[in-house]
């Protein structure tokens, strides 16, 4: 069975509370449970990790080298400016799918630029919690 990491960056622990009009009313825990159920149908095992700290996310990305076949990653605001996270993704030789629940291109201009897209296998945005399932499906096709 393939094993992937579902990685979430800053403020995603606030799902269900933070801007429900943008992100919905589901909590991160309930979304993770749905992802795990869906991943099983793809014969994939998932681990989940969320941090508000850039260095912790970098260290978890490094663990892709030895512990995982790929990663679905919602980097939150770090998407737009974290070169440390970009460098971490480019240093591991595993596919990373960048995901966003909202359509970042329909929001504030600063959200239109991703510094991590160039080192990710692909990007999925704008489908709410389903963005995660689409990320798992994309990984299942390439790992």
Residues linked to residue 34 through DSSP beta bridges, in sequence order: none
Question: Is 112 among the residues known to form the active site?
Answer: no
**Which residue in 38, 100, 105, 112 is the catalytic one?**
100
Contact between residue 3 and residue 45 where contact means Cβ atoms under 8 Å apart: yes
**Which residue in 23, 38, 68, 78 is the catalytic one?**
23
* Phi-psi region at 126: left, alpha or beta (left = phi > 0; alpha = psi -120 to 50): left
> Any idea what the Cα angle at residue 108 is, between residues 101 and 139, rounded to 5°?
30
Question: Is 100 among the residues known to form the active site?
Answer: yes
Mind telling me the catalytic residues? 23, 100
């Amino acid at each position: 069975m393939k094993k992937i990491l579902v990685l979430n960056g800053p403020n995603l622990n606030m799902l269900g509370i933070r801007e429900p009009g943008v992100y919905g009313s589901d909590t991160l825990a309930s979304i993770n449970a749905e992802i795990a159920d869906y991943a099983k149908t793809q014969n994939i095992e998932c681990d989940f990790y969320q941090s508000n700290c850039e260095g912790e996310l970098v260290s978890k990305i490094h663990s892709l080298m030895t512990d995982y076949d790929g990663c679905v990653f919602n980097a939150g605001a770090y998407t737009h400016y974290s070169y440390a996270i970009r460098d971490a993704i480019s240093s591991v030789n595993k596919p990373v799918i960048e995901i966003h629940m909202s359509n970042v291109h329909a929001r504030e201009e600063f959200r239109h630029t991703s510094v991590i897209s160039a080192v990710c296998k692909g990007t999925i945005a704008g489908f709410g919690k389903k963005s995660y399932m689409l990320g798992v499906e994309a990984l299942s096709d390439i790992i």
